[in-house]
Structure 1
Amino acid sequence: MLPAEQAVSVSQWDRSYLTVVRRNWHLLPKSQLLTLMDWTEEHLEFTLIEDDFFYVKLGNLKPKCQTIDYNSAIKKVDKTEIAQFKKRLNTVFPKGLPKQEEPFFHFVKELSTPSPNTTAEGSSMFSPRIAYPYFALFGDPLLSESTESYPDDYLDKMHAKGVDSIWMHIVLSKVSPFPWDEKQSKNWEKRLVNLAKLADRANKKGIKIFLYLNEPRNQTEEFFAKNPTLRGSGNSLCTSKPVVQQYLKDSLSIICERVPGLGGFFSISASENPTNCWSHGKGDLCPDCGPKGAGRVIGELNNLYIDAIGAGFSKAKKTSPAHSERPRLIVWDWGWRDGIAEITLPLLKNESLSFMSVSEWSLPIERGGIKSAVGEYSISSIGPGPRATKHWQIAKQNNISCMAKIQANNSWEIAAIPYIPALYNVGEHISNLRKAGVTGLMLGWSLGGYPSPNLELVDLLGKNKELPFEEAILKVANNRYAEHGATVAKAWRLFSTAFREFPYNIGVVYNAPLQAGPSNLLWAKDTKYKATMVGLPYDDLNGWRVIYPEDVFIGQLQKVCDGFAEGISLLKNTTKGKKISRVLQQEINVAEVLYLHYSSIINQAKFIIGRRTLESGGNAQLKTELKKILTSEIDLALRLAAIQGSDSRIGFEASNHYFYVPQDLFEKALNCSKLIEQYS
């Protein structure tokens, strides 16, 4: 008998709808998916496009699915299949399905509850220090007056870990008037009122708000049929057009005027959503922007922002004189092609301006004999790299303060845990940045906002410029884990060394089942699907490994697992037979989940290779090996389910919600059990 249906709160729904859509993407046709979600088609479309590229994560396609009619389907089920399933269920779960010990999203309650918060004394050499809130809502959060994304006690906890700013995603036409289509701006004033309330509340906690600025967004063919003179390259609103420039100036000015105390904005001008004519390298198709070139267009765009911020701030001072600090513009070189920085940076007006570069980008690395360079966020690679160093030098020559974009907590190397316990890697990176002359840090993207030992370490190093990072790590360990501090620090050393063996490549971090881990199903035949960006890995081994030969890909992951296994054993053996604190158990959980994820990827890769060999004429011995792999996968899935069932943080990331839930892991165990039967 199924358990009684449990009510789902608004809070839970707002942090799980992506999980529900993803889990049903291959099961339901669009019509039934809309019914399940109780959404309009417009709501689904907005979610797919604006919820952090969700449609890309789903593969830019909707599989064709038959309408599910349960009453008809149940009549067609073979009774033999039912008996086999029952037998399989009893074999895998002889005591029944494990219970959920800690409710989903319990971490929200925990992080929103008052607790003693201590912070390192002194002022940091890095400011701002920007993070993304661990459980903030994507979509359209400013439409609600709820404080749930940014509760006071969570802000206190982050401030205690050294965070002095948080960032949030906006679409400009949602928070200011869009002059050519009022529908796009519906409720913009309400959103600004809520943003002002949030900024005021955060300021009282010592935290500034920075806004994501990736504008102006592309428009539809229908829009340009009505407004043909605004068109630039492709579907861009051309930023060389005076009316578009005025729209951008007016919009930012209104925001700064109505949100006194705003920390500022960070601009992305050559990546993410298609925006200006040169944002994705096709500006030569625009008669106005083409002759200017990307560097000049991007420079002019950011100067528009600077002027608009200044105009809005001047108005805000008249009504809110207490807020005397002008909002800052952080110009980010994300996606800038070679040569743009040399043109753009000298053009910028140096008025409350910072320049930011991803620290580890272009860093040369060698893993398993394969040479490459970092092209995404990485904690396995220690920055800064040559690209950031070069761009910072150009900025400094133009008297522009410099910031480093890093990932202090986690990265797409694994985002299913709140932080990667490779503190020696993080510490060495921050130590290097202290010498590089950067004055601010962006501590994470949508992932990485958990009040962790990693953030505590960054704070300590920023406030003690001469403190060796090894000593700082021991201080953090002792502060958090008391008598077990030295042991935890040793484990962190093992984790950090092992993690440097990760087979890094942008394709690996986007496509491999790093986030799905053991929840990723296995198939008796090739599905032919291509892995999607941090979404659905399928069985696309070639897409997972990219530049790494199969044996090297597996071997490098095994090196990481071996180091983590050693560190986990150290922690467990030291605390064996002793009552340990919840915080130490959570530390062990984080390390063990990484181990389980990577061990599963090794299994999955070996299974796919074995399946391929079997199809081309393998023998009975190969079937035995496949069954061993499948048995191991069942064990990994159930171990992960047990941890997630007791630690609600596991598997969650703000822009993806839960990558998996225990039921997915139970399904994986049954999936493997059925495959074992097929190979017997």
Structure 2
Amino acid sequence: MVYRIWRSPYSSFGGTSAEFPDDRTDETYTAPEHYKDELLREIAANGFNGIWIHARFAHITHTDAFPESGVHAGEHLDRLSGLIERAERYGIKVFLYGQPLRSVPEADRRFWRNHAECAGQTEYLTEENAVTGVRRRYQTVALCSSVDAVKSFVEESAAQIAEKLPGLGGVILITATEFPGHCYQRRHKVNPTACYPLIECPRCREREPWEVAAELITLFRNGIRRHSADISVITWNWSWQEWLPAPCRPLLELLPRDVVVMADFEREGVIDLPERPGFEINEYSLLYPGPSESFQNTYHACRELGMNVMSKLQLGATHELGSVVSLPNMITIRKKASWHRTHPDAGYMGCWNFGNFFSANTCAFNWFLNHRASSGEETELRDFAEFYFQGCDSLLVYHAWRLFESAMRHLPFCIGPLYYGVQTYALAYTDIYRPGPLEGTYAGCSYLRTKERGDDLSPACEMHHHEFSLTELAGAYAKTAAIWNCGVSLLKAGLKGCDDKGELGNAVLCGMCWASTENAYRAYALRKEWSPEKIHEFRHIVNSELDVLTTALPYVENDVRQGFHGEAGYRMFDPELIRRKIKMLQRWREGA
């Protein structure tokens, strides 16, 4: 079966980085509350036949190897069984996504007193209290997979999952980066970096990291196969390139041939951008159509080995702008779908844990996937426009989409602004609009909840991924906003008199987010080197931001989805936050 996998925008992972999490906040426990029959029906109607749920396998199984784990395993399994049964009525399979192993906090004295021999690589995690905003760092210890008891746990837990959840569609395993799990999860054997120091575990440093990862995948697969030949075992190649160049063939060759490889569709792609030819893409992207050379090499290597492949992409929104309903770059959506149409054996997982609202993006991808190619881009896109927006002027809509694509080519696509930029929360961001020298409080990640945003935006332009200076960041967003808003004008004219299905408001808000982001970086640049004479330029920025906010507000009021970021689990901007910001800026302008 070729899987097309999606998920709810509102179902959350739970306490993923908590030192002592309540496992009854895990998604395996809470998901049935989000996946009501109405949503399952809607997912199927939108062309998907699978949903994925985050799992901590030690919480949903109770093994002899580690009897301390899985205190509420029976409750998790009962809830999952009910969801699997209901989803099946709509032709939807449930997939569990997780790491074969998760580390155990050093402070769990009871566990380590009983299993000291299983201790591996020590790592650190940061836990943030969502209410108080207080961050604390704690030590956690990997379960060393070079130890037989740990290997037994991996296989036994997988076997229990297959035995207790026979209707499960599959498991999706991630073995690099993410949370500490096995000893090489965040480590290199040679060539250390800031993010990947050298391995210290005395057992695992004698092994290759890809051997450790392949062994864990194989153990999990063997456990599943004890009870089921039908449950798919999917391994995601996210960040395997930290250990091996793509296609990571030494790792692939160690895997059983019935393991499905899910490969990143865009990562390590190269695109010619204005003023930046040969620019590398190293994240999910709706700017870059893909497939990357890395994906293609992985696809062909797997096919040579007799293994099936599926793609990992994001159809709704990405870190490029993750707090809107969608990024309507239909030019690249069509190209992504076109590759899948010509490779019908390759399924896909079309989302991460944000950007999961249905929109023209999701409809278009599956529409292009299921319709035969016609005479070219314009014809296909105009055909889709006439299908989706009945009665529209498809020529104007097409040219609006062309301008959106042109605008996104100016986005500063690198890890600094993607992970630490203001684009997701700019419309609600107030801390930067206080004239005077910076206070220096960290503003936080673009994709996580932060109680208070400070005014230090330096990670967006000064971290180790420093492809864009602060001046270039502001200029890039200015160009993006200007071109995008020209597209909005065409879209408004093209959709006049027909049901725009929220797409016009969504496009307006994308443009306003880009413009607000530009204003924030310009204000930050002024405050970095503040002097009293800069107050006049600061006033111009405030006036521009007020125009942006008054334009954005009615569209945010009319669509409760806007501003919501699934990974953060809340609305990063909403009507009340925007109104407060407007009042604050107006008060300053009147008093200045």
Please point out which of 550, 562, 571 is paired with 1:638: 550
Higher mean C-alpha displacement, 373-382 vs 274-283: 274-283
Instruction: Kindly indicate whether structure 1 or structure 2 has the higher relative contact order, using CA contacts under 8 Å at least 6 residues apart.
Output: 1
Question: 2:129 is matched with which residue?
Answer: none
| One-letter amino acid matched to 1:232 | G
CA contact under 8 A between 1:460 and 1:472: conserved in structure 2? no
What secondary structure sits across from 2:96 in the alignment? strand
Q: 1:575 to 1:478 in 2, by over 3 A?
A: closer
What secondary structure sits across from 1:244 in the alignment? helix
Q: Which has the larger radius of gyration?
A: 1
Question: 1:611 is matched with which residue?
Answer: 527
Please point out which of 506, 512, 517 is paired with 1:601: 517
TM-score (norm 2): 0.84
Residues 301-352 of structure 1: per-residue CA shift (max 9 Å, x gap): 11111111111326xxxxxxxxxxx11111111121242722110011112x
TM-score (norm 1): 0.74
Give the CA deviation at 1:566. 1.3
Give the CA deviation at 1:490. 3.0
| One-letter amino acid matched to 1:557 | Y
Give the CA deviation at 1:186. 2.2
Written as runs of structure 1 = structure 2, the 5 A alignment for 1:257-276 is 257-276=163-182
Give the CA deviation at 1:128. 1.0
Confirm whether residue 544 of structure 1 aligns to residue 460 of structure 2: yes
Whole-angstrom distance in 1 between the partners of 2:550 and 2:112:
54
Whole-angstrom distance in 1 between the partners of 2:333 and 2:64:
46
Please point out which of 118, 142, 160 is paired with 1:230: 118
Please point out which of 302, 324, 327 is paired with 2:217: 302
> Structure 1, unaligned stretches of length 5 or more?
1-125, 315-325
Give the CA deviation at 1:238. 1.2
Question: 1:439 is matched with which residue?
Answer: 346
Written as runs of structure 1 = structure 2, the 5 A alignment for 1:442-521 is 442-464=349-371, 466-467=373-374, 468=376, 470-484=378-392, 486=394, 487-521=396-430
Written as runs of structure 1 = structure 2, the 5 A alignment for 1:2-17 is none
Whole-angstrom distance in 1 between the partners of 2:151 and 2:444:
36
Residues 232-276 of structure 1: per-residue CA shift (max 9 Å, x gap): 222111112221111111111111111122110111101111111
Q: Normalized per residue, which structure has more helix?
A: 1
Q: 1:359 to 1:136 in 2, by over 3 A?
A: same
Whole-angstrom distance in 2 between the partners of 1:142 and 1:366:
40
Please point out which of 554, 573, 578 is paired with 1:665: 578
Give the CA deviation at 1:457. 2.0
Question: 1:132 is matched with which residue?
Answer: 7
Higher mean C-alpha displacement, 585-594 vs 431-440: 431-440
Whole-angstrom distance in 1 between the partners of 2:77 and 2:377:
42
| One-letter amino acid matched to 1:391 | T
Residues 64-105 of structure 1: per-residue CA shift (max 9 Å, x gap): xxxxxxxxxxxxxxxxxxxxxxxxxxxxxxxxxxxxxxxxxx
What secondary structure sits across from 1:285 in the alignment? coil
| One-letter amino acid matched to 1:568 | V
Residues 147-198 of structure 1: per-residue CA shift (max 9 Å, x gap): 4411222222222222111101111121111557656422211110110111
What secondary structure sits across from 1:312 in the alignment? coil
Question: 2:134 is matched with which residue?
Answer: none
Q: 1:476 to 1:279 in 2, by over 3 A?
A: same
What secondary structure sits across from 1:448 in the alignment? coil
What secondary structure sits across from 1:483 in the alignment? coil
What secondary structure sits across from 1:356 in the alignment? strand
Higher mean C-alpha displacement, 469-478 vs 147-156: 469-478
| One-letter amino acid matched to 1:481 | F
Question: 2:195 is matched with which residue?
Answer: none
Q: 1:147 to 1:236 in 2, by over 3 A?
A: closer
Confirm whether residue 312 of structure 1 aligns to residue 217 of structure 2: no
What secondary structure sits across from 1:224 in the alignment? helix
> Structure 2, unaligned stretches of length 5 or more?
15-24, 123-140, 190-198
Written as runs of structure 1 = structure 2, the 5 A alignment for 1:290-369 is 290-313=205-228, 326-336=230-240, 337-339=242-244, 341-351=248-258, 353-369=259-275
Give the CA deviation at 1:559. 2.2
Please point out which of 297, 314, 321 is paired with 1:407: 314
Q: 1:215 to 1:485 in 2, by over 3 A?
A: farther
Whole-angstrom distance in 2 between the partners of 1:200 and 1:253:
20
Aligned length: 534
Question: 2:101 is matched with which residue?
Answer: 216
Confirm whether residue 194 of structure 1 aligns to residue 194 of structure 2: no
Please point out which of 153, 156, 159 is paired with 2:41: 156
Give the CA deviation at 1:551. 3.2
Please point out which of 139, 147, 168 is paired with 2:53: 168
Give the CA deviation at 1:674. 4.2
Written as runs of structure 1 = structure 2, the 5 A alignment for 1:418-437 is 418-435=325-342
Q: 1:264 to 1:144 in 2, by over 3 A?
A: closer
CA contact under 8 A between 1:138 and 1:654: conserved in structure 2? no
Question: 1:289 is matched with which residue?
Answer: 204
CA contact under 8 A between 2:13 and 2:27: conserved in structure 1? no
CA contact under 8 A between 1:350 and 1:400: conserved in structure 2? yes
CA contact under 8 A between 2:209 and 2:243: conserved in structure 1? no
How big is the alpha-carbon RMSD for the aligned residues of Structure 1 and Structure 2?
2.4
Q: Normalized per residue, which structure has more strand?
A: 2
Give the CA deviation at 1:585. 5.5
Q: 1:472 to 1:253 in 2, by over 3 A?
A: farther
Whole-angstrom distance in 1 between the partners of 2:406 and 2:367:
22
Please point out which of 173, 179, 185 is paired with 1:279: 185
Written as runs of structure 1 = structure 2, the 5 A alignment for 1:565-584 is 565-574=485-494, 578=497, 580-581=498-499, 584=500
CA contact under 8 A between 2:11 and 2:31: conserved in structure 1? no
Give the CA deviation at 1:625. 2.3
Give the CA deviation at 1:225. 3.8
| One-letter amino acid matched to 1:627 | R
